Each structure stands twice: as C-alpha cells, then as structure tokens.
C-alpha cells in the first residue's frame, strides 16, 4: 500500500484518523501501532516478522543498557558496568546490522565472493523487505540514544514498537531519531491548526508525486531501457537524465511531504527531509539539503564516532561515510560508485575550501558544476548495473553512438513533458516559498491557499486515477 493509492487515501487513512480521534488519548498509541503493523503487512505479510524481531531486539537491548547504567551509577565498580554497557550496545548494533546484511546484502556478498574465488556458492534469492534500511536505522538510533543518555529508555514495549513501526515514515523515511520523538510518543497534543497544516502538506506531496514525478519518471524509464535495446542519441540521453533527476527529487520529497503531513494528523512533528537541494553551490551543501534525515544520521552515529573533523584522518572518515552511504542505498556496485562519486567531490571541497582560488570561483559556476556532478551521479543511481551506467554516460558525452535509433528525441519531447520539466525546475527552487512569504500576512491568503489546495488535490487525483501503478523509488531501500 502506497500513499498515492486510492485505498490508502479513501479507506485506510480516513479509517485510522476516525478510530484515533474516537478513542481516549490513553489508547491512541495502540491504535497507531495496530494501523502501522497492518500498513506494513499490506506490503508483504511474510516480512512482518522481521519488523517484529527488529522491535524486540531494540527493546531488549534498550532495557539492558539502561539497567546497566543504573547499576553503574550506584556501584563502586563503575568500569565493570560501563564495559558491560558498551558490550550490550555493540551486540545490539551488530544484531541490527546482521538483520540488514542478511536480507539486503547476503546475495550481493556471495556474488562477489564467487567472482573472486571462482566458486559457485548458490544464492538464496532473498526478497528485500520493504523499508528495512529505514526501520533498522531507527532501531539503532533508539539504543544508541539511550546509551548516550540523549533519551530515556521506554519500558513500554508497545511504545518502542510504535516508534520503530510508525506507518507515515516506516517504509521510506524520514529517518526519525528516537531522541527527537521520545516526548511525542509519551505525550503529545493534537490541534485543528496542526491537522490543517498536515492536509496542505499531504496534498502538496501527493501532487509532487503523481503530477511531476510519475510523468517524468515514465520518460526516464523509457530512455534508460532504450540504451540497452535500440539505442538513443545524445540529446535523448541528456533528456532522460534530467527527467530522472526531477523524478527522484519530487518522488522522494513528495513522499517526505506526505509523511510529515500524516504525522501532523496525529500530533507528530517529523524533521524536514529536503531543503531545495538543487540550488546547492557545492556537493557538501547538497548533502545538507538532500535526504537530511539520512545525512544527519550518518553524521551523528558514524562520522563523529569515527573522529569527525577532530581526530583521525578527516578525508578517510568522509570516504567511509560515503562508501556506507552508497551501500545503504542498495546492494549493487553502481550504488557504491555513486556514493564514492559524491564522497570524492566532498573530499576535494574539504581540501580546497580554505584556498583563495576556490573562494574566488563565482557562485553561479559553483551551482552549475554541483548540479552537473549530481546529474551524472543520478545516472549511476538509476541504471540497473554499472555496465548500463557506463554505456549511458558514454552516450551522453558522445563517446559511443548508435546507428539504427528507433526513437529519437522528438518522440519524447511532448508538450506535457516539456511543461512539467519547466514546472519541476521552477519548484526545485524556493521561488514559491518567497512568493508565499510575501503574501502570507494578507487577509485573503488563507482563503486563496485553501482553494488552491483543493484544486491541487482534485488535479492530483485525476493524475493518480489515470496513471499506472508507480511505487515510490525509495521503497526499494
């Protein structure tokens, strides 16, 4: 079940909202937990047990770490309990990563092992459970935050289960750190204003997904398929890369908008996950604006523990972070190369940032070069494998050409496509935000905004009903 489906919008979500507000506040968390488990089961009931195992692991180790912390504070032998506490954390993190490794990387590991050793170990062909990368990282956040004393342990198993499985952000984020939502799980206040904001945010996200992302995604899919069949020309290759760049932004930011909006329905305020990444003037800035919840997770739980900027080799630390970032996105070498591609430029920027020549580069050139680097990276991200990615990039830069091209660029340049590319480029910038802030204090603003939201919802529904099934890109992670 996806947010942009009729069954979710007209049946599941209204039913959950109705039951939530019908019940007493004391049982509302249980309503949300039940709804979250049903939501996840709809994507594959056989994998519900994996989510439940993840919940149980993190609950048990959270309690163990807290219990050892209490004993440490009251004991004369603090070193002993501190060591036990670290051991519990290490085991808890290992079990989380073990779960993730088995279901996401086991076959990839065997494939590469066979290639290196010349062996023929049989694959298990494990189907990736939806959202495992997201709920695993949230589980680790829970036990790490307790270990660091950034949050209090929650001895209510159902509350921990709700945090890890909360359906708005369960399968594609944003990744919510436990310390940022602990108080809201224990006690929160809902309001008409927050609910109204949630509706607006949900509708905007839905429109991003079904109007822009799905239409441009259809073009990108066709172009990327053709590179391995009848071939494409240079202009078509660039068109496909641009369409995919806009698709993945509006697809993922649209999901995040919907998740944040749904959170507001129930009194949760999730962090922003995107902040106009395509206006960045460096790759470093891009990662402060793109998938913010993931980049901050890696910063807090990997980069800083490695030594960050202060200890060790900062370039090595950045290399490790972006190697893991690539792997997090998928068990494939093109994801690894994509992560290292971004890491390479971040390391270069880190090295050059204090140099006078770097400071003197015009901001326009920095913005254009950043967008160019990101766009090349998206080809690596989109392609089915590294071979296809290299073939596509070679076509983009005229290094290879095809003789009998079935579909030239004129086939893809339709009025709707070009219009949505222009719309996508405009809404990738904060132009609308600037216009809204200018008129926000006007008396008629709320009325006009509500009318536009209703119209946008109707248009989005028309697109949704007329389109074919299109799951969110980040569901696969």
- Measured N-to-C along each axis, helices 13-22 and 25-42 cross at an angle, to the nearest 10 degrees, of 160
Residue tagged 């990615």 (tokens): 389
Q: How far is CA 131 from CA 87, 108, 128, 135, 244, in A?
A: 27, 18, 9, 6, 22
Quote the tokens at residue 119: 């062996």
- Going by the DSSP 8-state scheme, the letter that residue 277 receives in this structure is G
DSSP letters of 414-438? -HHHHHHHHHHHHHTTTHHHHHHHH
Active site residues: 329
DSSP conformational letter for 268 = -
Residue 395 CA, distance from chain mean position: 29
Interhelix angle for 178-186 vs 132-147, to 10°?
90
CA dihedral angle for residue 50, residue 53, residue 59, residue 61, rounded to 10 degrees: -110
DSSP string, 305-319: HHTTTTSS-HHHHHH
Q: Answer whether 134's CB lies under 8 Å from 172's CB.
A: yes
Distance CA 236, CA 214 (A): 18
Closest CA to 133 of 321, 299, 303, 326: 326
What are the tokens at 425?
């480029």
CA distance 131 to 255: 13
Residue 141 vs residues 85, 135, 191, 335: alpha-carbon distances, Å:
16, 10, 28, 24
Asked if residue 227 lies in contact with residue 388, where contact means CB atoms within 8 angstroms, the answer is yes
Contacts (Cβ under 8 Å, ≥6 apart) of 351 = 315
CB atoms within 10 A of CB 400: 14
Whether 289 contacts 55, CB under 8 Å: no
């Amino acid at each position: 079940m996806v947010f942009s489906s009729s069954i979710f919008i007209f049946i599941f979500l209204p039913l959950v909202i109705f039951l939530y507000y019908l019940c007493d506040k004391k049982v509302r968390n249980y309503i949300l937990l039940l709804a979250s488990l049903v939501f996840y089961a709809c994507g594959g009931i056989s994998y519900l047990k994996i989510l439940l195992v993840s919940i149980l692991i993190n609950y048990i180790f959270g309690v163990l770490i807290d219990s050892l912390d209490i004993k440490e504070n009251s004991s004369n032998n603090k070193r002993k309990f501190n060591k036990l506490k670290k051991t519990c954390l290490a085991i808890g993190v290992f079990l989380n990563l073990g779960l993730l490794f088995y279901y996401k990387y086991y076959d990839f590991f065997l494939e590469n092992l066979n290639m290196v050793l010349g062996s023929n170990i049989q694959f298990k062909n494990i189907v990736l459970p939806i959202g495992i990368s997201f709920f695993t990282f949230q589980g680790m956040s829970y036990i790490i935050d307790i270990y660091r004393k950034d949050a209090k342990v929650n001895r209510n198993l159902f509350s921990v289960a709700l945090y890890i499985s909360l359906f708005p952000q369960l399968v594609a984020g944003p990744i919510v750190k436990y310390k940022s939502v602990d108080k809201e799980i224990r006690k929160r206040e809902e309001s008409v204003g927050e609910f109204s904001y949630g509706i607006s945010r949900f509708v905007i996200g839905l429109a991003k997904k079904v109007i822009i992302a799905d239409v441009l995604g259809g073009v990108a899919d066709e172009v990327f398929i053709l590179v391995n069949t009848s071939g494409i020309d240079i202009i078509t290759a660039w068109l496909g890369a641009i369409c995919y760049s806009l698709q993945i932004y509006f697809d993922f930011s649209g999901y995040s908008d919907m998740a944040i909006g749904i959170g507001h329905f129930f009194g949760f305020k999730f962090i922003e996950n995107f902040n106009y990444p395509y206006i960045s003037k460096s790759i470093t800035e891009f990662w402060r604006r793109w998938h913010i919840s993931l980049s901050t997770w890696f910063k807090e739980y990997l980069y800083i523990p490695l030594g960050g900027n202060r200890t060790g080799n900062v370039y090595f630390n950045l290399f490790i972070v972006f190697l893991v970032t690539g792997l997090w996105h998928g068990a494939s070498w093109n994801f690894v190369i994509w992560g290292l591609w971004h890491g390479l430029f971040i390391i270069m920027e880190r090295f050059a940032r204090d140099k006078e020549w770097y400071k003197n580069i015009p901001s326009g050139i920095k913005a254009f070069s950043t967008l160019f680097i990101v766009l090349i990276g998206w080809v690596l991200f989109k392609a089915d494998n590294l071979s296809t990615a290299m073939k596509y990039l070679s076509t983009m830069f005229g290094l290879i050409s095809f003789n009998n091209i079935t579909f030239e660029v004129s086939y893809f340049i339709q009025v709707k496509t070009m219009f949505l590319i222009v719309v996508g480029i405009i809404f990738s910038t904060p132009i609308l935000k600037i216009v809204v802030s200018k008129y926000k204090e006007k008396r008629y603003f709320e009325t006009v905004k509500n009318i536009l939201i209703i119209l946008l919802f109707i248009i989005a529904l028309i697109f949704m009903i007329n389109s074919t099934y299109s799951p969110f890109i980040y569901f696969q992670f």
